[in-house]
Amino acid sequence: MSAPFLKSIATRRTIYALKPELPSALSIADVQKTIQAIIKDTPTAFNSGVNHAVILTGATHKSVWGSVTDAIEAEAGKKRPASVRDEAYGSVIFFTDDKITEGLQEGFPAFAAAFPDFAAHANGAAQMFAWTALEEDGLGAHLQHYNGYVKAALAGKVPEHWTVQAQLCFGTPAAPAGEKTFAENPVNILN
């Protein structure tokens, strides 16, 4: 029964070569519905709802990724964010809500040290679901972590107490994923 789910997981790959368009069967509203469902249904510690996301596209995507590119000094370091600016159709920005994490720390002091990790884990799960779902819908995507730069570029557009966790950059695939090697890491049954 889980075979289609496992196939989706195996099919998801890092696709860097993107065109700044959507496949013809897909609208940005479809992408929004998908990400909304993932934010709703991804579990969070104590069911706290710590995850948030926004989707950047159009002029905002260009200006945010332009700011990230400009803020990086080394020429080599500008390459990836410039490619996102010019070649991705959009980017999903993932956040965790620090007020929720602080509330949990106050409410459950025994777990206080763990809540930032729990928030990051739950956010990572949402990132993986989103990456897999968008590629199932015919998009290509890659995951980035220009967190501080993106936070600065989004100042005033999202609440200050949202921490940027990752960026999933998407568009129409322009080339397949590269070769990949796998660590088998056998899973044993201890009986």
Binding site for ligand FMN (CB under 6 A): 13-14, 142-145, 177, 180
The nearest distance, CB 162 to ligand FMN, in angstroms, is: 19
Contact 35, 123 (CB under 8 A): no
The nearest distance, CB 23 to ligand FMN, in angstroms, is: 19
Which whole-number Å values give the CA distances from 128 to 12, 93, 140, in the listed order? 9, 13, 13
The nearest distance, CB 180 to ligand FMN, in angstroms, is: 5
Name the residue nearer to ligand FMN (CB basis): 143 or 158.
143
The nearest distance, CB 164 to ligand FMN, in angstroms, is: 12
Contact 118, 45 (CB under 8 A): yes
Count of H-run helices and E-run strands, the chain:
7, 5
Name the residue nearer to ligand FMN (CB basis): 180 or 188.
180
The nearest distance, CB 80 to ligand FMN, in angstroms, is: 7
Name the residue nearer to ligand FMN (CB basis): 67 or 144.
144
User: What is the spatial distance between Cα 116 and Cα 101, in angstroms, rounded to a whole number?
Assistant: 6
User: What is the spatial distance between Cα 92 and Cα 38, in angstroms, rounded to a whole number?
Assistant: 12
Name the residue nearer to ligand FMN (CB basis): 43 or 159.
43
Name the residue nearer to ligand FMN (CB basis): 167 or 172.
167
Contact 63, 90 (CB under 8 A): no
The nearest distance, CB 130 to ligand FMN, in angstroms, is: 12
User: What is the spatial distance between Cα 80 and Cα 135, in angstroms, rounded to a whole number?
Assistant: 20
- Which amino acid does the sequence have at 55? I
Structure tokens at 80: 């990836």
Name the residue nearer to ligand FMN (CB basis): 33 or 79.
79
User: What is the spatial distance between Cα 53 and Cα 25, in angstroms, rounded to a whole number?
Assistant: 23
